[in-house]
């Protein structure tokens, strides 16, 4: 009879992600990004985000976020990521506070899409960006104010005017590509899909080749930051665009 240890699989590296409850894009994008990294396994948890009304418009639901982090910590992941765009809207000091609280409560390395965006833009040398998404123009303008506090200027924007979080995920690739082309103007140093419930990551390489401008997807940013936080050197390939060739995560 074989020794029990010979029947065990090698332990995978685990990347834990918290996402808004109505989001149906983060999981499939994260899984697709990690498909060619067989030693890295994504796991997920959710916090409530329903409809168009946020009961915590100027902050986070700290109890819910830390509860989700605590549950994910039971699986002993290598790092934890908050995959959401809200941090830019309410000020990225909230994301920094989240990282501090998660580390204090769980001991886990932690990152967020918002903090990863700042590092990616720094690695690109980009301070003048275009924001796009399925949401309203007001959403982009509010995010722009938050990013301006970090030294990032929004010089173009495009949006579809959708207000329901669940509906964001129904936006097709043709519509996303049209938003990218709308803002691909001289002076734009990076285009940012600032919504984790609308997928731009699969289009990044093709649209970067077409426009000559880096395309950063909010969910992909969370994965990029999470891999670095976990100390995982492997990266998704060139099909996912310039983001995963950047240093500084």
Q: Dump pLDDT digits (tens) for 158-211.
A: 999 999 889 999 999 999 999 999 999 999 999 999 999 999 999 999 999 999
- By CB atoms closer than 10 A (0-12, 13-18, 19+), residue 113 is buried
If asked whether residues 10 and 94 sit together in one domain, one would say: yes
Instruction: Give the per-residue pLDDT at 10.
Output: 74
pLDDT at position 7, please?
58
Of 140, 183, 134, 186, give the one whose Cα is nearest residue 161.
134
pLDDT tens, residue by residue, 29-54: 999 999 999 999 999 999 998 766 78
CATH number at residue 49: 3.40.50.12500
Same domain, 133 and 228: no
Give the structural domain span for 52: 4-115+220-245
> Same domain, yes or no, for 191 and 143?
yes
Query: How far apart are the C-alpha atoms of 206 and 93, rounded to whole Å?
Result: 34
Whether 73 and 187 map to the same domain: the answer is no
Predicted TM-score (pTM) of this structure: 0.95
Give the pairing type, strands 40-47 and 128-133: unpaired
Q: Which of the 8 DSSP states describes residue 231?
A: T
Residues 92-142 have pLDDT tens digits of 999 999 999 999 999 999 999 999 999 999 999 999 999 999 999 999 999
CB-based contacts of 142, cutoff 8 Å, min separation 6: 89
Environment class of 209 (CB within 10 Å of its CB; exposed 0-12, middle 13-18, buried 19+): exposed
Per-residue confidence (pLDDT) for residue 247, from 0 to 100: 80
Same domain? For 25 and 120 the reply is: no
pLDDT at residue 53 in the model? 73
Instruction: Tell me what pLDDT residue 11 has.
Output: 84
Give pLDDT, residue 249: 57
Tally of domains in the chain: 2
Unique residue bearing structure tokens 């941090």: 87
In the beta sheet, which residues pair with residue 41?
14
Is residue 249 within 8 A of residue 119, CB to CB? The reply is: yes
Q: 143 and 232 share a domain?
A: no
Q: What is the mean pLDDT of residues 68-87?
A: 98
Confirm if 133 and 140 have CB atoms less than 8 A apart. yes
DSSP 51: T
- Give the per-residue pLDDT at 2: 61
Q: Give the H or E element holding residue 45.
A: strand 40-47
How far, in Å, CA of 209 to CA of 206, rounded? 5
* 125 shares its domain with 55: no
């Amino acid at each position: 009879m074989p020794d029990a240890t010979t029947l065990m699989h090698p332990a995978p590296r685990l990347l834990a992600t918290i996402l808004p409850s109505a989001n149906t894009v983060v999981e499939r994008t994260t899984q697709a990004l990690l498909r060619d990294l067989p030693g890295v396994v994504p796991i997920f948890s959710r916090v409530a985000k329903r409809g168009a009304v946020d009961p915590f418009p100027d902050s986070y639901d700290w109890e819910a976020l830390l509860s989700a982090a605590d549950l994910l910590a039971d699986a002993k992941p290598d790092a934890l990521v908050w995959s959401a765009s809200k941090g830019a809207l309410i000020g990225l000091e909230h994301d920094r506070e989240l990282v501090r609280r998660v580390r204090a409560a769980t001991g886990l390395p932690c990152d967020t899409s918002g903090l990863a965006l700042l590092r990616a833009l720094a690695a690109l040398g980009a301070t003048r960006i275009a924001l796009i998404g399925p949401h309203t123009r007001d959403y982009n303008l509010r995010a722009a104010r938050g990013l301006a506090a970090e030294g990032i200027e929004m010089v173009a924007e495009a949006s579809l005017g959708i207000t329901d979080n669940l509906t964001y995920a129904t936006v097709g690739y043709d519509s996303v590509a049209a938003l990218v082309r709308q803002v691909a103007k001289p002076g734009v140093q990076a285009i940012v899909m600032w919504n984790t419930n609308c997928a731009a990551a699969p289009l990044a390489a093709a649209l970067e080749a077409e426009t000559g401008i880096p395309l950063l997807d909010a969910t992909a940013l969370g994965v990029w930051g999470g891999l670095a936080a976990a100390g995982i050197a492997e990266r998704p390939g060139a099909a996912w665009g310039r983001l995963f060739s950047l240093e500084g995560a």
